[in-house]
Amino acid sequence: MMVPLLNGGPIITHPIASAGCGKLSSFVPGTSFNQKITSEGIVRSYLLHIPLHYNAIRPYPLVLNFHGHSSTSLQQERRTGFSTLADQSGSIVVYPQGAIGPDHLTGWDTGPLWDPKVNDVLFVSDLLNQLQTELCIDPTRIYATGFSNGGGMTNKLACDLSGRIAAFVSVAGSYPPLPGGCHPSRAVSILEIHGTGDPVVPYNGLPSKNYPPIDQWLQQWATRNECTRRPIISVNAKNIMGEEWVGCQDNAELIHYRIQRMGHTWPIHIVIHYKGNAKTMIFNATPLIWAFFQAHPLSTTEKVSEALTKTEQHLTR
């Protein structure tokens, strides 16, 4: 459905067809481009990566990748290595750029003190509209991930755009209470990765900034997803613990990795030492996130089927 806004145009909350299928593109595959879009009268920017061997008659998955507070889209591309993975996996990645906030630093409107003139959910909706007009995107495989404040933005999208975005991953995310609450349209698959040594978004919460303990935030999502059983806990390494909530509505998955002593970072080269075994491995969040996304396309609903049919019609023109 389309939710009208009091201060501007509509946010599209359901899958739509990709009119960009079959359309010639001026973008060079295997490279990243700075692009602009006007959303609610404000010029916004984003970094777009087109994968190697892009073919306009094949619908591609799309990953939204949000930077943290005071950071940039380019820094997020470099931090996560998602563009390199996109070339290997055949996916489009977009790194939206946060607006300047009241503190004169970049960020996302995930808290009560943000500039009310900036509507980042509308920005993301408008951005998806533009990308699906220009590129061939599979409407059932649109995903969102983010770091720190960008993880908080990913959480907000899970609350507000779960009918259009298939799955969500947050790394070291900050989750202050959302002014409008959290009301997803369905049970949502979420992966959260957090370090117990995080000094910026502490694992046990930060009352001065209204950051809840991570366990509390996870339980809130377990309640929304109507998970009926306690999480399954696996500890197969000295410094990492995995939790998976089971029995959730619509087979949604809620998974959490707690990494001992890890600070405020996107884990790329975290060394995992197995108990009773001299073997070690490198914990790299990026391929793990991509595997989670691949396992969670948007469920086939009437709106999804309608969007897929229209996308196929674009391909046959």
Q: Please tell me the number of Cα atoms within 13 Å of 72 on its side-chain side.
A: 6
Q: Which range among 14-28, 47-61, 200-214, 297-311 shows the weakest confidence by mean pLDDT?
A: 297-311
Q: Please tell me the number of Cα atoms within 13 Å of 218 on its side-chain side.
A: 25
Band (231; pLDDT cuts 50, 70, 90): confident
pLDDT the model gives residue 278: 46
Among 249, 250, 289, CA closest to 266? 289
pLDDT the model gives residue 52: 96
Band (12; pLDDT cuts 50, 70, 90): confident
Return the bridge partners of 12, or none.
2
Strands 137-147 and 167-171, by their bridges, are: parallel
Name the helix (H) or strand (E) containing 9.
Answer: strand 8-12
d(CA 260, CA 239): 5
Q: What is the pLDDT of residues 116-174, one digit of tens each?
A: 789 999 999 999 999 999 999 999 999 999 999 999 999 999 999 999 999 999 999 99
Strand ranges of the sheet holding 42-50, from the earlier edge strand across to the other edge: 31-39, 42-50, 92-96, 60-66, 137-147, 167-171, 189-195, 254-259, 240-246, 229-237
- Show the domains of the chain with their CATH numbers: 9-315 (3.40.50.1820)
Q: What is the pLDDT of residues 17-75, one digit of tens each?
A: 789 999 988 899 999 999 999 999 999 999 999 999 999 999 999 999 999 999 999 99
3-state secondary structure 38-53: EECCEEEEEEEEECCC
Helix (H, G, I), strand (E, B) or coil at 14: coil
Nearest-5° Cα angle at 231, 151 to 222:
50
Q: Please tell me the number of Cα atoms within 13 Å of 158 on its side-chain side.
A: 27
Among 197, 157, 196, CA closest to 175? 157
Band (114; pLDDT cuts 50, 70, 90): confident
Residue with tokens 């991953």: 169
